[in-house]
Amino acid sequence: MEMRFVSTGSYLPEQVVDNDFLSRIVDTSDEWISSRTGIRQRRVVTAGEGTACMAAKAATKAITRAGIDPQDIDLILVATMSPDNYLPNTACEVQAEIGAVNAVCYDLSAACTGFIYALNTAYAFIKAGIYKTVLIIGSEVLSKMLDWNDRSTCVLFGDGAGAAIVQATDIGLFESILGSDGKRKDALTCASRYIVNPLVSKAISLSDKESLDYVRMEGQEVFKFVVKTIPGTIQQVIEKAGCTKEEIRYYVLHQANQRILESVAKKLKEPIEKFPMNLDKYGNTSSASIPILLDKMNKKNKLNRGDKIILSGFGGGLTWGTTLIEW
């Protein structure tokens, strides 16, 4: 069995935060943010919105466009590093919201590579003949994980969700290279809760317990890692698939930084026009960035059956993944 994309959907919160707004709360400027990253705006949730509800909204659009019955979905995978709750998982919350009563549901955490890992998990289940219809979602509320006093991170990220329905099919193309390097785990971090139980001898002060950690990033380390690693994985995947780069219609990369995309394009000697971008509008939405971009392209009828597309994600862990698909 092979796998093909059937439909996409996305949801972005309505609240727009532009660079000028940020320059009023931290020592930054529109000039710095846009020239160093390409980001001009991002969307941020307001009260009542969350990771699961955005995921469900993106999923509903994908289901409607696919014209399938939610009861036909066998598996729901949500890639997120910002779930609303430790329990239940986001995928179960989505299941309840959309009525996908027959689905197995779980979350997958791989930072900005999450959607690519989830896509590969879906492929493995479909290839093995276990499931036929899978709903894959990337959804993030990163705004709650940011230190809004830290200009080196708060200007980069945004909230949003993207979804795709993939299904078993007879013929298709799917080649991947995935990787992880836990030795470089400190490049991107955000700690969870302190251990507090009757066996922990160290007394934890109330202020310790209450002080939450926020996203920290060694930006240049991550930048260098991406530019060094990702072009090679793209070349290898194209070779594995027996294709040439001339046959690749688009390189849909994780939307972290325009300069990263330009460097990758230059290394591959490919025109930047083959690298669609929307980070100017939405910032870095981590696991949601690739499915949001795919959905925006899909809505503009830019994706045609038979198009060969590279999808590539990279981020905390460190983790990375590059996949060649045929639309």
Residue 269: other Cβ atoms inside 10 A: 8
- Based on the shown chain and the rule CB under 6 A, indicate whether residue 109 belongs to the binding site for ligand UT7: no
Q: Given 89, 105, 154, 254, which residue is catalytic?
A: 254
Question: How near is the Cβ of 30 to ligand UT7 at its closest, in Å?
Answer: 10
Spatial contact of 118 and 138, defined as CB atoms under 8 Å apart: yes
Query: Is 89 a catalytic site residue?
Result: no
* Contact between residue 17 and residue 143 where contact means Cβ atoms under 8 Å apart: no
Does position 284 bind ligand UT7 by CB under 6 A? Answer: yes
Instruction: Give the separation between CA 222 and CA 315, rounded to whole angstroms.
Output: 7
Residue 284 annotated as catalytic: yes
Q: Under the criterion CB under 6 A, does residue 155 sit at the interface with ligand UT7?
A: yes
Asked if 151 interacts with ligand UT7 (CB under 6 A), we say yes
Backbone angles phi, psi at 245, to 5 degrees: -65, -25
Least distance from ligand UT7 to the Cβ atom of residue 222, Å: 4
Establish if 24 lies at the interface with ligand UT7 (CB under 6 A).
no
Q: Is 112 a residue that touches ligand UT7 (CB under 6 A)?
A: yes
Identify residues 241-260 at the interface with ligand UT7 (CB under 6 A): 256-257, 260
* Residue count of the chain: 327
Shortest distance, position 83 Cβ to ligand UT7, whole Å: 18
Cβ 106 to ligand UT7 shortest distance, Å: 23
Which whole-number Å values give the CA distances from 108 to 141, 207, 314, in the listed order? Answer: 15, 31, 15
Please state, in angstroms and rounded to a whole number, the distance separating the CA atoms of residues 262 and 155.
20
Residue among 187 and 325 whose Cβ is closer to ligand UT7: 187
CB-count exposure of residue 262 (10 Å: 0-12, 13-18, 19+): middle
Binding mask of the shown chain, residues 1 to 20, with x at each position contacting ligand UT7 by CB under 6 A = --------------------
Q: Give catalytic status of residue 254 as yes or no.
A: yes
Tell me which of 32, 106, 146, 272 binds ligand UT7, using CB under 6 A: 32
Name the residue nearer to ligand UT7 (CB basis): 88 or 219.
219
Helix 30-37 to helix 258-268 angle (10° resolution) is: 20
How far apart (Å, rounded) are the C-alpha atoms in residues 323 and 106?
A: 22
Buried b (16+ CB within 10 A) or exposed e, 123-149: bebbeeeebbbbbbbbbbbbbebbbee
Instruction: Give, as ranges, the residues between 207 and 226 that touch ligand UT7 (CB under 6 A).
Output: 219-220, 222-223, 226
Is residue 82 involved in binding ligand UT7 (CB under 6 A)? no
Q: How far is the CB of 217 from ligand UT7 (least distance, A)?
A: 6
Shortest separation between residue 282's beta carbon and ligand UT7, angstroms:
13
Catalytic residue among 19, 89, 257, 284: 284
Q: Is 88 in the site for ligand UT7 (CB under 6 A)?
A: no
- Please give the helix or strand (H or E) that residue 230 lies within, else none: helix 219-240
Q: By CB under 6 A, is residue 179 in contact with ligand UT7?
A: no
Closer residue to ligand UT7, CB minimum distance, 252 or 303: 252
To ligand UT7, the closest distance from the beta carbon of 318 in angstroms equals 9
Cis omega (within 30 of 0) for bond into 318: yes
Q: DSSP string covering 282-294, please? A: H-B-GGGHHHHHH
Alpha carbon distance 278, 162 (integer Å): 13
For residue 106, the surrounding DSSP H or E stretch is strand 104-108
**Which sequence positions are flagged as catalytic?**
112, 254, 284
Residues at the interface with ligand UT7 (CB under 6 A): 28, 32-33, 36-37, 112, 151-152, 155, 219-220, 222-223, 226, 256-257, 260, 284, 286, 315
